Amino acid sequence: MAEVKDKKWYVVRAVSGQENKVKEYIEREISHHGLEDFIGEVLVPTEKVIQIRNGKKVSKERVYFPGYIMVLANLGGEIPHIIKTINGVIGFLGETKGGDPVPLRRAEVNRMLGKVDELSVKADNVAIPFTINETIKVIDGPFNGFNGTVEKINEEKRKLEVMVKIFGRKTPLELSYMQVEKV
C-alpha cells in the first residue's frame, strides 16, 4: 500500500484542449488496473474567468496551463507506461529519453496549486483591458450599442468613466469593465 508521503507530483503532457478528457481516461485506466493506491490525485489546473453573455455574468473555467495535467502518484512498475499509452497523453514533463519521469519540486507544486487557489479566490481577476482615450462600445445596460471614449479608469472598483454622445451632447457614464468592449 503506497502512502501519500511516497507520492510525488508529476506533470503529464496532454493534447491541448483535451485536458479534462485525458484526466478522465487516466482515472478510468487506473481504476481498470486496480492501481488507485498508487495514484492520489489527477488535477487539471483551471482558473475562473468572468465573461458577459447577453447582459449576464457567466463564470467559465479555463485551463490555466494548457496541455498539462498534474498527477500525484507513486510511479512504480508499470504505471508510467500505462499513463503514457493513454489516448491524448504525450508523455511526462521533464523525462529524458528512456529515463524516469521527473517529479516536480515542492516549491513548484506549491506555486502551481497556490496559483490555482489564489485564482479561485479572486474570481474577478481580469486585467485592465482598456486605456484612456480608447474608443469602446457599450454592450450592456440602458446605453447598449452606444460608442464612447474612456476618460478615466478606476482599477479598484473595476469601472470606467466613459464619455458618450447622446442626442449630440457629451455625457459621462460610469460603467463596469463588463459592460463595455473594445471597438
pLDDT in tens, 65-86: 889 999 999 988 888 999 999 9
* Chain Cα centroid distance, residue 121: 13
Cell numbers linked to 159? 469601472
Residue 26 vs residues 20, 22, 40, 87, 171: alpha-carbon distances, Å: 10, 6, 12, 9, 57
Q: Give phi and psi for 27, each to the nearest 5.
A: -60, -40
Tracing cell 486605456 back to the chain, one arrives at 131
pLDDT tens figures, 15-28: 988 999 999 999 99
pLDDT tens figures, 52-69: 777 777 777 788 888 999
- The CATH code of domain 135-182 reads 2.30.30.30
Considering the entire predicted model, what is its pTM? 0.57
**Residue ranges covered by each domain of the chain:** 4-121, 135-182
Look up the CATH architecture of domain 4-121: 2-Layer Sandwich (3.30)
